[in-house]
């Protein structure tokens, strides 16, 4: 009875097609060119730091560098080369992870200082059979602070026969003291087109067939990671029995159908809530994640924005049918509408990811998009209102009435305001006395000017008390009569007289009274503001804007400065800033 040999164990595609030469390393041409020049000129660093997202080839690159440094060629007489032969004993031993002088350490599982001490003790000894002793430390950012500190001196001045190769996905967690001692290479994400072409070649080598759209979906889902893409491709080949289709890939990884996404966008732009919700529910029942659906809508809005900027360029790999449909949309959509869609989708995506029921949150986000799509563009509406054109307000088509002069227009037609405002308090003239002699020209003309004097002299506490807690009973230059609230400082009158005598050169009389007096300056400002707000809200232009945008409110308004070069200094109109909630 003869023993039947065990079948060869299956190797996943990510391991089977790990690059064995720099030529097979895709998407990292700049790094390969730098290494080639360094090897040719003999300018080899003693430590390399490889960083990048998962699956772009950091560990594979480290092994290739180890092979390039230790390759001796088929005849055993070669030197360091960017094109290792792959047949000599060092190349084969490194590829099979059995070379005694190439040590790989996973810092995620060996993080302590004792693990690093083993390396420090071993670097003193020469390589056994290789040209260089190479230490490959994967996920180096996981080392402890003590381990990093112990490695610093050896890393800065290692023996000539030692090379360090570090790989990490979290470059910010690596101490700057380590970064400064290494030659850094940033491995880039692989472009979607490059990944799709790479997957096509692997599918052919595996004797399978795949639709180009399916490979594009896999490459897009990989997000620049070769290993992630190969894992998805491996699963897709097994799922389809050697036939990889776009529909099978979408169903396998829970993606929404691009055609259904385009239909959903069409319903949103048309303002059709029932078909949009039916489309969303259909995708959800087919297994699509609600958050993924909104992400696909975000990608479509991004593609539309790029297509509007450059119609002649391809936008995120749109198919021909999708591109034709997208071109029709961008002709009618402005940048403001696209940005509004983007912001609302971002908000909806966050709500969907955090909501107890993601599908309900996604439906509410879609309804919000439909409501926003039916609203007019604010800039276009403002132009129509300014030009006196009719604007549909609410459910009725009531036009703004430009023939009736608004309060703004009436103020513009009013007579010029006097150059100096009339005093707000009754001016009482008293004969000069020793206590309050006639003031000089430095004395403030009225009580408000007096308060501004305190504020300009950096007496901010006194100025605030006079503005907020002082009711003016009577004022004349040299004499002030006030009624104070309970919040005012008790020594306010004495401090006022001291300051005013110092500033004006004359003595002032500040007396307290129980008379009612005027409103405080702060209360007068509030009253004026409320009156102006009421006037703005009564303006037909403002009313039309508020009624056109349901839920809008008057947040703030300001007076536009009049033209100083004009002959008539009329009161300037107020401008409206409204917030859509």
CB 94 within 8 A of CB 165: no
* Per-residue model confidence (pLDDT) at position 365: 92
203-240 as b/e: b if 16+ CB within 10 A: beebebebbebbbbbbbbbbebbbbbbbbbbbbbbeeb
Residue 364 three-state SS: helix
Per mean pLDDT, which range of 193-197, 451-455, 562-566 is the poorest? Answer: 562-566
pLDDT of 256 strictly over 70: no
**pLDDT in the model for residue 148:** 92
**Which tens digit of pLDDT belongs to each residue from 428-445?**
333 333 344 444 556 788
For residue 510, the cross-strand partners are 480
Section 407-424 average pLDDT: 39
The confidence score (pLDDT) of residue 313 equals 63
Count CA atoms closer than 13 A to 508's CA, side-chain side.
28
Strand ranges (DSSP E) for 239-330?
A: 243-244
Compute the distance between CA of residue 281 and CA of residue 226 in angstroms, rounded to an integer.
Answer: 33
CB neighbour list of residue 580: distance below 8 Å, 6 or more residues apart? 375, 549, 551, 552
Q: How does the average pLDDT of the chain come out, rounded?
A: 79
Span 528-558, pLDDT tens digits: 888 888 888 888 888 887 777 777 777 777 7
Query: What angle is formed at CA 205 by the lines to CA 203 and CA 206, rounded to 5 degrees?
Result: 65
Residue 239, pLDDT above cutoff 80: yes
Give the residue ranges of DSSP H helices in 401-489.
Answer: 407-413, 447-456, 460-469
The residue that leads in pLDDT, 474 or 406, is 474
Per-residue pLDDT at 578 exceeds 80: no
Q: Measure the CA dihedral 479/484/487/488, to 10°.
A: 10
* Domains of the chain (ranges, CATH numbers): 13-186 (3.40.50.300), 192-253 (1.10.8.60), 258-374 (1.20.272.10), 447-517 (3.30.300)
Burial of 491 (0-12, 13-18, 19+ CB in 10 A): exposed
Q: What is the mean pLDDT of residues 23-28?
A: 85
Whole-angstrom distance between the N-terminal and C-terminal Cα of the chain?
Answer: 83
Predicted model pTM: 0.56
d(CA 381, CA 367): 23
- pLDDT tens, 301-358? 888 888 888 776 655 556 655 677 788 888 888 888 888 889 999 999 999 999 999 9
Q: Is the pLDDT of residue 375 over 80?
A: no
Instruction: Write out pLDDT tens, residues 127-177.
Output: 888 899 999 999 999 999 999 999 998 998 888 899 999 999 999 999 999
Which of these ranges, 191-200, 256-265, 572-581, has the smallest mean pLDDT?
A: 572-581
% of the chain beyond a pLDDT of 70: 80
Question: Does residue 504 register a pLDDT over 70?
Answer: yes
CA distances to 273, 515, 555 from 200, in Å: 41, 93, 57
Q: Which of the two residues, 287 and 405, has the higher pLDDT score?
A: 287
Q: What is the pLDDT of residue 387?
A: 67
Cα dihedral 429, 435, 438, 444 sign:
negative
């Amino acid at each position: 009875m003869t023993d039947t040999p065990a079948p060869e164990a299956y190797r996943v595609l990510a391991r089977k097609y790990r690059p064995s030469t720099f030529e097979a390393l895709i998407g990292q041409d700049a790094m390969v060119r730098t290494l080639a020049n360094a090897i040719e000129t003999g300018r080899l660093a003693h430590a390399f730091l490889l960083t990048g997202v998962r699956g772009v080839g950091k560990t594979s690159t480290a092994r290739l560098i180890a092979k390039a440094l230790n390759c001796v060629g088929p005849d055993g007489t070669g030197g360091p080369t960017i094109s290792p032969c792959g047949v000599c004993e060092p190349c084969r031993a490194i590829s099979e992870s059995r070379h005694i002088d190439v040590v790989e350490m996973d810092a995620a599982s060996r993080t302590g200082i004792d693990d690093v001490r083993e390396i420090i003790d071993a670097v003193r000894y020469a390589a056994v059979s290789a040209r260089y002793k190479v230490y490959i430390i994967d996920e180096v950012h996981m080392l402890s602070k003590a381990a990093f500190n112990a490695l610093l001196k050896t890393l800065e001045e290692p023996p000539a026969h030692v090379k360090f190769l570090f790989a990490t996905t979290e470059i910010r967690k690596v101490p700057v003291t380590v970064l400064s001692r290494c030659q850094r290479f940033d491995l880039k994400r692989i472009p979607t087109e490059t990944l799709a072409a790479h997957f096509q070649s692997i599918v052919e080598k595996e004797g399978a067939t795949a639709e180009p759209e399916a490979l594009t979906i896999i490459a897009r889902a990989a997000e620049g990671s070769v290993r992630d893409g190969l894992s998805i491709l491996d699963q897709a080949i097994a799922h389809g029995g050697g036939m990889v289709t776009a529909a099978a890939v979408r169903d396998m990884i829970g993606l929404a159908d691009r055609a259904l996404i385009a239909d959903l966008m069409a319903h949103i732009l048309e303002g059709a809530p029932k078909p949009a919700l039916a489309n969303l529910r259909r995708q959800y029942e087919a297994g699509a994640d609600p958050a993924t659906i909104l992400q696909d809508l975000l990608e479509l809005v991004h593609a539309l924005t790029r297509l509007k900027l450059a119609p002649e360029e391809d936008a995120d790999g749109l198919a021909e049918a999708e591109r034709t449909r997208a071109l029709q949309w961008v002709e009618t959509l402005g940048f403001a509408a696209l940005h509004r869609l983007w912001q609302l989708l971002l908000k909806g995506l966050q709500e969907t990811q955090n909501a107890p029921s993601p599908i309900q949150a996604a439906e509410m986000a879609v309804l919000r998009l439909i409501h926003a799509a039916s609203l007019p563009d604010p800039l276009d509406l403002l132009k129509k209102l300014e030009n006196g054109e009719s604007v549909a307000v609410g459910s009725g088509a009531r036009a703004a009435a430009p023939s009736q002069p608004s309060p703004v227009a009436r103020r513009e037609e009013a007579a010029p305001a006097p150059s100096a405002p009339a005093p707000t308090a009754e001016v009482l003239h008293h004969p000069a006395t020793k206590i309050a002699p006639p003031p000089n020209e430095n004395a403030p003309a009225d009580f408000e000017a007096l308060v501004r004097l305190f504020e300009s002299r950096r007496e901010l506490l006194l100025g605030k008390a006079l503005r907020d807690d002082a009711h003016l009973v009577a004022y004349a230059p040299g004499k002030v009569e006030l009624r104070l609230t309970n919040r005012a400082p008790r020594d306010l009158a004495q401090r006022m007289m001291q300051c005013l005598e110092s500033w004006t050169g004359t003595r002032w009389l500040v007396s307290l009274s129980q008379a009612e007096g005027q409103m405080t300056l702060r209360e007068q400002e509030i009253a004026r503001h409320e009156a102006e707000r009421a006037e703005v809200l009564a303006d037909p232009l403002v009313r039309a804007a508020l009624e056109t945008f349901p839920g809008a409110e008057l947040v703030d308004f300001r007076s536009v400065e009049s033209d100083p070069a004009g002959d008539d200094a009329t009161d300037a109109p107020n401008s409206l800033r409204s917030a859509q909630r």
